[in-house]
Homo-oligomer: A and B are copies of this chain.
């Protein structure tokens, strides 16, 4: 694997797992006051778009990264709607 490919995979892992501490924080505290509803609405639709793009173009890393990110983003969006 080329060194730059390692950078790409590390970047994909980091941006995907970054949503874990945010989801964990709001599940624990149920406090979503400073979270932006607009952000998670736009972001979730965007990640769904990436997931569709990955499925249609058969790009497995895009499918995996965006499938996992969509799960976390959906949890955050659901909590934001539920606990305004």
Residues of A at the B interface (CB closer than 8 Å) are: 4, 7-8, 10-22, 24-26, 29, 31-43, 45-50, 52-53, 56-57
Contact = CB atoms under 8 A, between A and B. Distances in A.
A11 B49 contact: yes
Given A49-B10, A53-B4, A15 B43 contact: yes
Q: Is the interface of A mostly helix, strand, loop or mixed?
A: helix
Contacts of A35: 22, 34-35
A56 B7 contact: yes
A40 to B, nearest CB: 8
A34 B26 contact: yes
Given A21-B38, A34-B26, A39-B22, A4 B46 contact: no
A45 B21 CA distance: 15
